[in-house]
Amino acid sequence: MIHVRELTKHYRETVAVHDLSFDVPPGVVTGFLGPNGSGKSTTMRMIMGLDRPDEGSVTINGRAYVALDHPLREVGALLEAKAIHPGRSARHHLQYLAETNGISRQRVDEVLDLVGLTEVASRRVGKFSLGMGQRLGIAAALLGDPGVLLFDEPINGLDPEGILWVRNLLRGLAAEGRSVFVSSHLMSEMALTADRLVVIGRGALISEGTLDEFIADTAGTYVKVRGPQLAEIERVLHAAGATVVPDGEGALTVRGWEASAIGDLVMSKQLALHELSPQTASLEEAFMTLTRDSVEYHGRTTDVPVTTGK
Amino acid sequence: MTTLTPESLRTTSTPHQKSHLIRAEWTKLRTVRSTWWTLSAMVLVTLGVASIAGASVSHSWTTFNVIQRATFDPTGISLKGLLFSQLIIGVLGVLVMSAEYGTGTIRSTLAATPQRTRVLIAKAGVVGALSLVVGEVLSFGAFFLGQSLLRSPAPHAQLSQPHVLQAVVGGGVVIGLLGLFALGIATLIRHSAGAITTYVGILLVVPIILQTLPSSFSQPILKFMPFHISDVMTSTVTVGQGSSLSPWVGAGVLALYAFGTLAVGGYLLRRRDA
Ligand SMILES: Nc1ncnc2c1ncn2[C@@H]1O[C@H](COP(=O)(O)OP(=O)(O)OP(=O)(O)O)[C@@H](O)[C@H]1O
Ligand SMILES: [Mg+2]
């Protein structure tokens, strides 16, 4: 279990993370989604005690990272930047990490086997392909058999087979009851892997909840309804059991009902309709719509205060 | 998926120990090639200089004048190659820290051991022990090699003579302390090129610049320079009386450099983002 509370981090003028709070519960995969530069890696480094937050706190199983006696046995992480000396062999890299936390050499061989690097274990890491490097990073994360796992963009550089392997690995780890936290800027990938989503933009929380909630809220097919007495239409549809959300631009987003049924119902109540159009939004579009403001915002300015989009 | 077997974890479940960290740092040090390159270079240069010096003095002894013969220090001359080793051990000491930053390994290291002071102490333990042992082996090796090549009529030294043992042991101590000094510099600077430049600058360039200045100004500073201290520590005759520190004080000053930079480096290591 990871608790992130009111985390804020500045790098000089840049606000990398702003007042961010969320949880990573056990037994599920929590996806960490945000556009480039939104602060995912920074947040992960702060969880790992590598970067010091300006404000806020992180606890892992109730304790701060620095208070963990054998951190590798409680938290495993694949961080974005390759954190491996190119001149050292894969086995030696894992061996020194194992030694720091009193983990046996047998376990080093086990994780090498688990990620399929046994045959190249004695080769220098500098000669590894991107995918092999990722696998070694994953092996390091699994070394202490930890209950909490962080992966920063684990599918970077992997081929389709590798992506499938990571997806199954993450789901398997969560099914064993571990807390799995994985970042990505690809909504489509998260839709296949994650049970929960934490979405951030420009360092601030945009949404947190289950994947299903996210999809219900933002994506899929829906009907756009517009009319002069919008509040009345909303009330009628709501009373009839439809999911109705004002889209903030003078129209209603209605889910769970066909356009024809909506039209019939509204007409039967003697209300005028100005628009009644079925819409489809992919998850990717939904994600982009959700984070668009923060992305544009990010491109233009550095020192304007961040507005939380939630 | 393949299940993770936690069996192997339980078998070695022991509380966090310093020996774990020392062992891990030693694994790191011995599993990169740069360690073995730098150590080989030290052996080559130190023993090379000892043999050349021994052979050439024997050869040209007859041409030495009275003063040259009177001040000839067979111990000191056999240890001259240690000056090069002092530069090379700096590269080793720097890389132990700066390569971690250069390659990103520092993130793995600090994630595994978030108690940063302990990490630095383990590194200092390994670097200090390795450079001291290698320094002593080289110093004694160079001494015996150099003496064996000094043929009469050129005199040669024996460990039982006054100050000789102290000078030979001192040669290794200098290497040990300079390895730590380099580690300290790299903990402050964190970049290989910058840290090595700084280290070589302090050892080599600063004394050269000082020598171009009036000696009334440069002398009081020069005697605190590592090369000068090492000269004093590896000689059996008194070098530049009055304008030098004693060998013991010199060793203390080197230790101050080493542990001073390590202390400041450790403070910054705890504060800075990795
Ligand atoms: N060490 C640092 N020094 C200065 N600025 C930094 C540093 N690390 C991150 N930043 C800035 O903080 C912001 C967030 O960066 P971060 O790497 O956390 O984003 P991200 O969500 O991981 O992006 P990506 O999807 O590209 O990996 C960016 O504006 C970045 O430039
Ligand atoms: Mg990132």
Distance CA A199, CA A284 (A): 13
Question: Could B112 and A101 be called an inter-chain contact, meaning their C-beta atoms sit closer than 8 Å?
Answer: yes
Residue A50 pLDDT more than 80?
yes
Q: Which tens digits make up the pLDDT trace of A55-81? A: 999 999 999 999 998 999 999 999 976
The alpha-helical segments, DSSP class H, found in chain A are: 40-47, 71-74, 90-100, 105-114, 130-142, 160-175, 187-193, 211-218, 230-239, 259-268, 283-300
Of all residues in chain A, the one with the smallest CA distance to B111 is A48
Q: Which two tokens stand for residue A121?
A: 């274990």
pLDDT for B271 equals 95
Distance CA A33, CA A10 (A): 20
Stretch B211-217: mean pLDDT: 88
Whether this model's pTM surpasses 0.90: no
Chain B closest-CA separation from residue A307 CA (Å): 26
| Amino acid (one-letter) located at A153 | E
**Tokens 């080289």, residue?**
B138
Give percent of chain A with pLDDT exceeding 70: 92
Question: Could A45 and B32 be called an inter-chain contact, meaning their C-beta atoms sit closer than 8 Å?
Answer: no
Give percent of chain B with pLDDT exceeding 70: 92
Residue B214 pLDDT more than 70?
yes
pLDDT for B239 equals 64
**C-alpha triplet B123, B125, B130: angle, nearest 5°:** 100
pLDDT for B5 equals 45
Residue B173 pLDDT more than 50?
yes
Strand-pair partners of A179: A148
Q: Which one is predicted more confidently, A134 or A245?
A: A134
**Tokens 């556009």, residue?**
A35
Of all residues in chain B, the one with the smallest CA distance to A144 is B9
Would you state the CATH architecture of domain A221-280? Answer: 2-Layer Sandwich (3.30)
Minimum-distance ligand 1 atom for the alpha carbon of A38: 21
Which of the four pLDDT bands, split at 50, 70 and 90, describes residue A296?
very low
Q: Which helix (H) or strand (E) holds B262?
A: helix B247-271
pLDDT for B237 equals 83
Distance CA A203, CA A15 (A): 7
Residue A170, φ and ψ in degrees, nearest 5: -60, -45
**C-alpha triplet B3, B7, B13: angle, nearest 5°:** 135
When the pLDDT of each residue in chain A is averaged and rounded to a whole number, the result is: 89
Chain B closest-CA separation from residue A85 CA (Å): 5
Stretch B125-147: mean pLDDT: 98
Q: Does B32 touch chain A (CB under 8 A)?
A: yes
For ligand 1, atom 8, the nearest C-alpha belongs to A42
When the pLDDT of each residue in chain B is averaged and rounded to a whole number, the result is: 91
Residue B13 pLDDT more than 50?
no
Q: Does B263 touch chain A (CB under 8 A)?
A: no
Residue A18's CB is within 10 A of a number of other CB atoms, namely: 23
Stretch A190-218: mean pLDDT: 89
Residue A140 pLDDT more than 50?
yes
Closest CA to B90 of B24, B28, B168, B174: B174
Q: Which one is predicted more confidently, B46 or A283?
A: B46
pLDDT for A292 equals 67
Domains of chain A, residue spans: 2-216, 221-280
CB A14 within 8 A of CB A54: no
Q: Which of A4, A11, A151, A301 to mutate to test the pocket of ligand 1 (most atoms within 8 A of CB)?
A: A11
Question: Could B31 and A89 be called an inter-chain contact, meaning their C-beta atoms sit closer than 8 Å?
Answer: yes
**Tokens 């909506």, residue?**
A262
For ligand 2, the distance from its centroid to the CA atom of residue A169, given in whole angstroms, is 21
Residue A248, φ and ψ in degrees, nearest 5: 80, 0
Q: Is the CB of A38 under 6 A from ligand 1?
A: yes
Distance CA B56, CA A8 (A): 68
pLDDT for A126 equals 93
Q: Which two tokens stand for residue A142?
A: 């699994």
CB A60 within 8 A of CB A54: no
Q: Is the CB of A10 under 6 A from ligand 1?
A: no
Residue B2 pLDDT more than 90?
no
Residue A298 pLDDT more than 90?
no
pLDDT for B12 equals 46
For ligand 1, atom 26, the nearest C-alpha belongs to A36
Tell me the three state secondary structure of residue B68: helix
Q: Which one is predicted more confidently, A11 or B4?
A: A11
Q: Which two tokens stand for residue A290?
A: 């959700």
Distance CA B246, CA A282 (A): 79
Which residue among B23, B112, B115 places its CB closest to the CB of A66? Answer: B115
pLDDT for A212 equals 82
pLDDT for B16 equals 55
CB A182 within 8 A of CB A211: no
Which of the four pLDDT bands, split at 50, 70 and 90, describes residue A249?
confident
Q: Which tens digits make up the pLDDT trace of B61-105? A: 999 999 889 889 999 999 999 999 999 999 999 999 999 999 999
Reported ipTM: the value is 0.89
For ligand 2, the distance from its centroid to the CA atom of residue B1, given in whole angstroms, is 27
Q: What is the DSSP string of B184-240?
A: HHHHHH--HHHHHHHHHIIIIIHHHHHHTS-HHHHHHHHTTSHHHHHHHHT-SSPPS
Residue B26 pLDDT more than 60?
yes
pLDDT for A81 equals 67
Which of the four pLDDT bands, split at 50, 70 and 90, describes residue A244?
confident
Which of the four pLDDT bands, split at 50, 70 and 90, describes residue A219?
low
pLDDT for A294 equals 63
Which of the four pLDDT bands, split at 50, 70 and 90, describes residue A297?
very low
Q: At what angle do helices B116-149 and B33-60 cross, to 10 degrees?
A: 30
Distance CA A72, CA A57 (A): 20
| Amino acid (one-letter) located at A20 | L
DSSP secondary structure letter of residue A249: S
Would you state the CATH architecture of domain A2-216? Answer: 3-Layer(aba) Sandwich (3.40)
Distance CA B274, CA B39 (A): 29
Q: Does B5 touch chain A (CB under 8 A)?
A: yes
Stretch A210-225: mean pLDDT: 80
Q: Which tens digits make up the pLDDT trace of A167-201? A: 999 999 999 999 999 999 888 889 899 999 999 99
Stretch B168-176: mean pLDDT: 98
Q: Which one is predicted more confidently, B242 or B21?
A: B21
Which of the four pLDDT bands, split at 50, 70 and 90, describes residue A287?
confident
Distance CA A298, CA A35 (A): 10
